Amino acid sequence: MSGAPRFEASALTTAAAGIFAAAGVEAGKARVMAEVLVESDLMGHVTHGLGLMPKYMDEITAGRMRKDGEPEVLSDRGAAITWDGRALPGGWLTMKALDLATERAKQYGTCSVAIARSQHIGCLAVYPARAAERGLMCLLYSSAPGTASVAPFGAKQGVYSPNPFAAGYPTDEAPVVTDISASITTNNMSLRLAGRGERFPEKWLLDAEGNPTDDPNAIKQGGTILPAGGLDHGQKGYGWALVTEALTQGLPGYGRADGDAAGMMAGVFLQVIDPDAFAGLGAFTRQTGHTAAACRAAAPRPGLPPVRLPGQKGLKLREAALAGGVELAPGILEALQPIAAHYAVELPAPLAA
């Protein structure tokens, strides 16, 4: 443990939910929003945890995030569902979609939910991790149709958003949970490094003239983010991003082509698969467990630690944080204090050292 203060996860959740509720968000939605953000911090995804609260509060204040109501069902064929999210809180919408898809997958073997006009959904890893705990596989894609910060491979002009993808599934031991973007880095990480006066370890951005740079400030000066694979193999991230746009905007029927997405609006595609509808959960985990064990046992390159599975670090951090408290990244608590004071919500005291 570092010397930084730590907080009980449930106390942080209660405080965040209290702030959202004081701002007018329905209590049930406020609670789920808070749970998703704190879960992100538990797993070490600090750019998408409570650090997002100031942005979410700006969306609420500007009227770009709805505080009550339900999504509009545009289509429901049992195993394929489409919602208009009506700018409702993305964490709540996606968790609602996960619960519905879990129920339907038990009936149909698989269920997909496409959501138009969702608000920002936070850390994608949170949702597949929960599905994996239930013995299910979950695939989740998200895009921001109002953001054009990533350049297609070979271009210098931004066209689409980082377009993250997450997946989770059980093995015979710990689940595999991956959360990765179709871009080499993200908008939030660029802004975070710029705010701290730091640079990227490699040239992951392009400046306004199209020159590679490690300066995160380039994103605020007309520059763009490179696709995953960078200058050498960026066609891979580019192709992946296009598929994500098709799933999250094409299937729900709303997105970049409409030209009116504002703020943190998102398109979402979530699919849940029940292994019991195929060869069975036991057969599934026998295969996934074998491959996971082989990856862990693979000889590491000289000087490097043993191979980890995707999500392994985050799940261990979560376990430790639940036991010993959540360590918030620098600046997060300071940003929350004036918001909490404005809504007369008391933030939790740090745990005793």
Cα Rg of the chain (Å, integer): 20
d(CA 162, CA 227): 8
Per-residue pLDDT 10s for the chain (353 aa) are 466 789 999 999 999 999 999 999 999 999 999 999 999 999 999 889 999 999 999 999 999 999 999 999 999 999 999 999 999 999 999 999 999 999 999 999 999 999 999 999 999 999 999 999 999 999 999 999 999 999 999 999 999 999 999 999 999 999 999 999 999 999 888 988 998 899 999 999 999 999 999 999 999 999 999 999 999 999 999 999 999 999 999 999 999 999 999 889 999 999 999 999 999 999 999 999 999 999 999 999 999 999 999 999 999 999 999 999 999 988 899 999 999 999 999 999 999 87
Per-domain residue ranges of the chain:
6-184+226-287+312-327, 185-225
Are 43 and 64 in contact, with CB atoms under 8 Å apart?
Answer: no
204: tokens are: 């992951």
d(CA 240, CA 234): 10
CATH architecture of the domain with residue range 6-184+226-287+312-327: 2-Layer Sandwich (3.30)
Q: Span 185-225: which CATH code?
A: 3.30.60.50
d(CA 79, CA 199): 45
